[in-house]
């Protein structure tokens, strides 16, 4: 047996004003995207904003449905929109913000497992890592590589059967 370990590094900022300049606008756009959420059932509104390599911004927000499994998370809304609108343009960074019952969440929220898998796939398509900025009122967390959020990913099945 071999014992191995994972070391995940991230940066923590006291608020979005302390972010590097190039990501302050992205964080603001994620907060604005929260306002477009359709979340009447959970009252948990999430907004995601992407900064693409070409300088374009793509926004997404969670969209709930009375048939609960039919809704979609903000991160996947944004990523699928980017893939359709700008195919083959890599993502530079993603920012995620949320509110509950109209009040910004205190701690940063992390993407769900399904979103993390889509984020990995998007990173693989773009052939380079991208940053994830998770925003809370008390702090903001930045990871430099989506792989840090999901170290054991599901990928091309043809590689698994060789």
Going by pLDDT thresholds of 50, 70 and 90, the confidence category of residue 25 is very high
Going by pLDDT thresholds of 50, 70 and 90, the confidence category of residue 151 is confident
More confident residue, 157 or 19: 19
> Domains, the chain, ranges and CATH?
15-64+71-137 (3.40.140.10)
Average pLDDT score over residue span 49-77: 96
Burial code (b: 16+ CB inside 10 Å, e: under 16) for 59-92 equals bbbbbbeeeeeebbbbbbbbbeebbeebeebbbb
Average pLDDT score over residue span 7-28: 95
* Amino acid 162: pLDDT: 56
* Amino acid 160: pLDDT: 54
Q: Would the pLDDT of 14 be above 90?
A: yes
- E strand or H helix at 124, and its extent? helix 113-126
Going by pLDDT thresholds of 50, 70 and 90, the confidence category of residue 11 is very high
Average pLDDT score over residue span 37-42: 97
Give the single-character DSSP code of 127.
Answer: T
Pair of tokens at residue 23: 């990501």
* Entry pTM: 0.93
* Amino acid 154: pLDDT: 79
As annotated, the active-site residues are: 75
- Residue 119: closest CA among 133, 104, 132, 106: 132
């Amino acid at each position: 047996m071999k014992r191995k370990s994972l070391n995940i590094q991230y940066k923590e900022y006291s608020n979005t004003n302390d972010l590097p300049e190039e990501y302050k606008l992205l964080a603001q756009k994620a907060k604005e995207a929260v306002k477009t959420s359709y979340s009447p059932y959970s009252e948990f509104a999430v907004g995601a904003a992407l900064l693409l390599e070409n300088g374009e911004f793509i926004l997404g927000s969670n969209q709930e449905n009375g048939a609960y499994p039919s809704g979609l998370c903000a991160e996947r809304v944004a990523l699928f929109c980017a893939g359709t609108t700008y195919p083959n343009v890599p993502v530079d960074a993603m920012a995620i913000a949320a509110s509950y019952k109209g009040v910004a969440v205190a701690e940063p929220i992390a993407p769900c497992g399904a979103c993390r898998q889509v984020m990995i796939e998007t990173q693989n398509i773009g052939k380079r890592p991208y940053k994830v900025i998770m925003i809370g009122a008390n702090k903001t967390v930045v990871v430099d590589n989506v792989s840090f959020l999901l170290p054991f990913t599901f990928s091309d099945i043809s590689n698994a059967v060789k």
